[in-house]
A and B are shown apart, each in its own frame.
Chain A
Amino acid sequence: MGCNIIIKLFKYKVMKNKIYLLALVAFAFLSCSKSFLDNEPYTATSLNSAIKTESDLLVALTGTYSQLRSYYIYGASNAIKGDLQGDNTYITTSNTNRYTSLNTFSFVTSDTYAYYAWYYNYIAIKYANQIINSGLSGTANINQYLGEAYAIRALSHFELVRNFAHPYTVAPDDPGVPIIKSFNQDTLPARSAVKEVYAQVISDLEKAYSLLTLYRGTAYFSKYAVRALEARVYQNQGDWANAKIAALDVINNSGWTLLASTAYVSPTGSLGTSYSASTYSPGGYWSSAAVQTSTKNETLFEIASDVTNNNGFESIGSLYLQAGGGYGDILALGDLYNLYSATDVRKGLVVNAGAGYRSGQGGITYLAYKYPNAFGTSDRDDTKILRLADVILIAAEAYYNTSDPVNANLYLNLVAKKRDPSFAGYASTGTQILEDILTERRKELAFEGGRFWDLVRLKRSWTKVINQSPLKTISIDASNNSNASFSKTAPLVYPIPQTEIDANKNITQNPEFN
């Protein structure tokens, strides 16, 4: 109770003047009310005292990464979208209703995936801003943490602008997304132009690059992971000179290498006749769920999951896996499977399960096997965000676009021959080189969410398979140069969430949804 009223009461009970006693008691009651009503929380601290030291900064940064792990953004949806909206995967008929709007390109303005892609990226930006604006500076560690926060802010703005706005290669002056660099709950920001958002992203990445000096493992942004992201950003802008510089910096200076083919994939076991009988494992790099802390193979940056902190049934593996309790809603397409030669180890990541394997699905079932550790009692799959192979292929594409076919083929074959040691290598000329690069990108980065963005930024048309058997398709056309009719047959951008439109009078909806 804090106050010794009872004792006082007792003491004064002998007093004859009872009225006096009452007045005294009442006074004593009132004098202690302030502290009595001040209950500090046990699992939170006041925001303005939260980030004051280097270790506070690290804690806030770790919290920011855990936000990135959310399955609605980098934990799963980001990687699922790029294949599902491209031509690598589809959703089987008998499904759990997840990701169906992406499969059919049928979005309402209240679409769940659009909503969370928007909101969760802005949450990550809010966290990153807390770190960036903390006012701390001085030590290498602090600079490292600030640098990672700049990189995260860049990553989220980049994903926002390409998901919610027209491609830079189509309409750089169209509305992009709001750029948020500090917290204000009352602001109703308008959309900055696409090119302004890209400029902000590059600026944040350059800042990050200048601050980062440490390698904390693949679970965190490092100097060269930032460069890899920068290469991707320039690739999406079609800025090939800069893309080449950034990519080559990673390839030549980072110390990262590709693994030997047998260390990359090395399948064991078999699928059996039903998923309960499956013992299949892709082996190698793709079977390991561990993050790298000192080695530098393949992965430049990935989102870490472990046995206690993971997305459970919503993990990316659960959506692909038939075995072990996964939803298994998303299946690979035969077209993709057929791209791999028999000697390509990556064929072990797209498995032909035969006909009737998936209940209710006609035709042959092809399974994506890059995420085999969705369940069980050991470490869980991490989601790859940036890989060296991707950067090498960006370099190849940059060389192609800067009229250097020799180097284009050279870098292209660095990846292709690594995965298929019996492959003689690409030796095309002219525009076929670009087609070879795209094919190789499709094969290498399948189920990692890159395909759709390749098709969009290059303004391609493709056939989206909604269901493989019986065959149901829609044709998607990103070929139009005019921003007004950019999404000709189906919306190629997400709608700005209706919630945002309702709450923010300064925001405009994408024309596809008006």
Chain B
Amino acid sequence: MFPKYFVRRARILFLFAVLTTLSAFSQQVEIRGKILEESSKSSVVGATVRAKGHTGGTVSDINGDFHLKLKSFPATLLISSTGYKSQSIELYENEPVTIYLEEDVNKLNEVVVVGYGTQKKSNITSSVVKVDGAKFEQIPISSVDQILQGKVAGLQSATFSGQPGANQQVRIRGVGSISLSSQPTYVIDGIIINSGDLSRITTTSNVLAQLNPDDIESVSVLKDAAATAIYGALGSNGVIIITTKSGKAGKTKFNLNAEVGYNTHGPIPNAGKSLSSSDWLTLFKESVVNAGYTQAQAETLAANYGDGTVNTDWLSLITRKGAQHQYNFSASGGDQKTKFYISAGYFKQEANVIGSDLTRYSSVIKLDHNATKKLNLAINIQPTYSHENAPMSNGSYFSNPVMEYYFLRPTQNPYNADGSLNISTATKDFSSLFNPLYIVANDKNYADIFSINGKAEAKYNILDNLSFSSKLGLQYNNLEEYRYNNPNQGDGKSVNGRAYAYYTRYFLYDWVNQVDYRTSFTKNKDLNLDATAGYEALKSQQYYINAAASNYPTSKLIALSNASTPTAASASWSDYSFIYLFARANLSYQNKYFLSGSVRRDGSSRFSENNRYGVFPSGSIGWDISKETFFNPIKFVDNFKIRTSYGVSGNANGLGNYTWRQTEGYGLTYNNQPGGNFNSVGNVNLKWESGKQTDIGLDASFLHDRISITFDWYNKITDNLIYDVVPSLTSGFSSITKNIGALQNRGVEFTINVTPIKTKDFSWDINFNITHNKNQLTKSPYATDQANGSYILGEGHDFYEFYLKEWAGVDPATGNPLWYTDATKSTTTTNYNSAAKVATGKSASPKYYGGFSNTFTYKGVNLTADFYYNYGNYVQDSYAKYFNDEVNPSYGKYSYNLNRWQKAGDITDVPKLVYNSTNNSAAASTRFLYKGDYIRLRNVSLGYTFNHSVLNQLHFSALNVYVRGTNLWTKIYDKKIPFDPEQNINSQSGLNFFINKSVTVGVNVGL
């Protein structure tokens, strides 16, 4: 029952077929058939159908239908299509035939997106990991970089804040720079983007949170130099290429998914829980007596801070069960000439901490049109709007509710007798700290973020094997940030209310022009060349406006216009630009030997003309041993490819746009007059940081892909590190940016996928990956070891190795804190100042980390559990002195203080509590260094996919329901650690928002 259009079309086809084949065949029959995908039963468009022994053939149309003329029966039809296993079927008579194509699960035949192109996985000689889009769908997490955690060996991703839309710290193959950015470069659909946190007064915000993960087709993580060198100066910290979904020819497919759920707070270990009111007072009074006062004096002093009738559980007040919603709709389809994909998404996450949420409206319009046989035009536009409510969420702000949770005493009453919020400044109330409930209710901290990613592309096939393409990518980010501090309590009180309105616009364009050429040199197509060369120009411009004012007439209105005293007004721009020339050639012989090389020349506005250009070459070779004849007897091996690469890539990420220039700066004011000063010393000799990386890898699969492994060993040396060297301060500068120093990251990565059971109804898939990285500074900017915050900057040391005084415990006789005087640990002292800092050998970076996933499928039921593990690092409590030992007696305390020393002979690790103690017992030392080991169940989901009989009744093409848990379970190994061990990449506690533990249920409908 074809519509008229198709009937007419079929007739034309018929006519065509008759005309073209008339001369070849004297007697012909026409057969008709339909090609469907085996799993989804959806039509396969564009599959090639030909009869064995005959020349010519046909392709399936938009409905998967095909017509083919045959001379006689029986005949053998050969059907092939990219992404499916080829099939042949025997036909004995002229009957309509339905052919089901099985998706090709052989991972080595996958096509992987690499820099400026794609490559068959089997031919790749560099270290690239592809993650399928399915992994990013329907996850209650706002950004793709966060979801990547545990999915790729060699990629470390730290979620340090539960603020939805928070920036994510990602390191590929270790920390690659000591003062510039170590974040990888992100590329979306071939366009290099501004990534990271572009906000200015919002504590944390992430550009990638503007991209709906459900719109992602795949992510490629480029790790070694052979893969990244084509990105030149953007490559040394790895490159993450995100490819968004596109339309596929065929019947228009609609997809709708909806999920709802809730978020609660992640783990807070017992050691870090708050004290009860009575315990808090007990410890307080005990410490006062220990300080030499009488019990009566202790009672009097304690009375200042509450009488024990109030016992506030601040945690329950500053956390909540936050709602989680996500709705995504997409439609895609088209024909051989024009394809489209459109989507719309709504994501709303209320974090577990009060006042924190993210609402995102995202959309995609993507069109692809073959204007002529040779000219293809494509355009995509992705407008997204987000509203992020982000209360201050790190340790610098007393208006941060999590910080207040730790700092406030349980004896403080959040409410007045009449139930209103308490903002009294009496000593027992909120004399210095703030009532977080009042602050969250009355202060405003939000960002409205509007962004458009867009791309227009034209591709012209000059010859069959030579094409030219030009694409212009645009990234527009518009951030409107607002902070309002109310006049009654908190940061705005002393100025009678204040507000900051910050506007930031980033506009980036990236114009890529490239020529792709491929050819075969020998007749039997044994030797193949695949070459790409191109030119790219990128420019990013930031524009910002700051306005601030204080002194509000009323607390009812927050707009800046109401305030009477303007305190800031400024606006300016900041630009950078790059120019790139790149070329790459891949040679393969018999799909057995592979040779690849690339070279790139980069120019950047971030360097003076002396060193503006850098050249970054790479080369790699691969050998698939399994293709050798001597390997044939080994039947259980499908593939066995060894590869090695070497290359140079660069880094200028995070370098100031104008750092190299020696300038007079302005914007200073004295006595209401404008001033200027010699503000930048500059350095015209500054050049790129360069990473030289060697990689040796193995890709193998066994037992018809039931087992596949990837192994990599790498050695990356980043040289010419850019670092702020300290000159004599008498120059009037405290730093001069120079190229000095080198870092080494060496490690191994191993990934294994196993399918232990695979039957008709049941399958079990396991994925395991593990990474070991060893970082060390091979050339220090300094002649001797230096403290770099809590870390050591010294040759042979890990960049994140803690450099602290060594804690020697508590003297059982006196309860005094003890430290070792030096690294020999032979002598202890009670004097903190006479203990030396020692290189602890303990690093903030994990020794091993990775992911472990299991997926069980039984008929329509699917159970997945993804674990993330982290082993061998140490985490420092950088706020310890406030919450331990009554050094700062008026603040809240960790419950671990209950283990304090009380009398001679007590064996404990908490010293005698001394009111206002000056013995530095809680000052930075290894005492507050905890093991960072943990295992977390990042994701567990149970889904049911309805079978075709149900779907046919409902007229759905797919229906799936699921329940998912995110971060539901965490195993923490150190009993003393007071907080979640997953912190910043530098493993220091930041009093950031707790991570979200989410439970969601959802449904996914395909039409």
Contact = CB atoms under 8 A, between A and B. Distances in A.
Partners in one complex: yes
A44 B577 CA distance: 18
Interface string B288-306: 0000000000000000100
B573 to A, nearest CB: 5
B585 to A, nearest CB: 16
B757 interface: no
B677 A359 contact: no
B510 to A, nearest CB: 11
**Residue among B496, B574, B669, B782 facing the most chain A CB atoms (10 A cut-off):** B669
B789 interface: no
Contacts of A375: 494-495
B576 A39 contact: yes
Interface string B491-515: 0011110000000000001010101
Contacts of B515: 22
A348 interface: no
B457 interface: no
Interface stretch (A139-147, A181-189, A242-250, A255-263): A181-189
Contact of B678 (A62, A127, A308, A504): A127
Contact of A377 (B496, B662, B726): B496
Contacts of A123: 732
Contacts of A36: 537, 539, 577, 579
Interface in B611-670: 612, 657-658, 661-670
B1005 interface: no
A502 B785 CA distance: 11
Interface string A48-81: 1011000010111111111101000000000000
Contacts of B682: 47
Interface in A74-129: 93-94, 108, 118-119, 122-123, 125-127
B535 A44 contact: no
Interface stretch (A25-33, A194-202, A396-404, A442-450): A25-33
A45 interface: yes
Nearest to A216: B671
A123 B665 CA distance: 14
B827 interface: no
A63 B727 contact: no
B679 A44 contact: yes
Interface in B700-744: 726-734, 736
Given A38-B605, A375-B495, A62 B470 contact: no
B532 interface: no
B729 A308 contact: no
A29 B537 contact: yes
A299 interface: no
Interface string B671-713: 1111111111110000000000000000000000000000000
A304 B567 contact: no
B537 A503 contact: no
Contacts of B564: 377
Nearest to A506: B728
Contact of B462 (A18, A42, A126, A500): A18
B728 A127 contact: no
Interface string A410-446: 0000000000000000000000000000000000000
B603 interface: yes
Interface of B, helix, strand, loop or mixed by DSSP = strand
A1 B511 contact: yes
B605 A39 contact: yes
B732 A183 contact: yes
Contacts of A497: 729
A491 interface: no
Contacts of A37: 577-579, 603-605, 612
A507 interface: yes
Contacts of A185: 681, 727, 731, 733, 736
B495 A63 contact: no
Interface in A1-35: 1, 5-6, 9, 13, 18, 22, 25-26, 29, 33
B678 A47 contact: yes
A507 B88 CA distance: 86
B730 A308 contact: no
A39 B579 CA distance: 13
B282 interface: no
Nearest to A3: B537
Contact of B664 (A44, A189, A503, A504): A44
A184 B731 contact: yes
A309 interface: yes
Interface in B226-275: none
Given A44-B663, A44-B680, A359-B431, A504 B671 contact: no
A206 interface: no
Given A119-B729, A306-B671, A377-B496, A42 B573 contact: yes
Contacts of A61: 675
Contact of A291 (B460, B551, B671, B674): B671
A60 B675 contact: yes
Contact of B668 (A38, A63, A499): A63
A406 to B, nearest CB: 41
Interface in B895-939: 916
B727 A186 contact: yes
B373 to A, nearest CB: 15
Nearest to A60: B676
B670 A69 contact: yes
B682 to A, nearest CB: 8
B663 A46 contact: yes
B730 A41 contact: no
B658 A47 contact: no
A219 interface: yes
A502 B577 CA distance: 37
Nearest to A179: B730
Contacts of B195: none
Contacts of B466: 18
B37 interface: no
Contacts of A500: 728-730
Interface of B: 304, 425, 427, 431, 460, 462, 466, 468, 470, 493-496, 509, 511, 513, 515, 535, 537, 539, 550-551, 564-568, 572-579, 581, 603-605, 612, 657-658, 661-682, 726-734, 736, 782, 786, 833, 890, 916
8 contacts: A18-B466, A45-B663, A50-B664, A50-B676, A59-B674, A178-B730, A184-B731, A359-B427
Lowest 10 A-B CB distances belong to which pairs?
A126-B732, A325-B494, A63-B675, A50-B664, A62-B675, A44-B663, A63-B677, A66-B670, A504-B728, A65-B670
Interface of A: 1, 5-6, 9, 13, 18, 22, 25-26, 29, 33, 36-39, 41-48, 50-51, 56, 58-67, 69, 93-94, 108, 118-119, 122-123, 125-127, 130, 178, 180, 183-189, 217, 219-220, 276, 291, 304, 306-309, 324-325, 359, 375-377, 497, 499-500, 502-504, 507
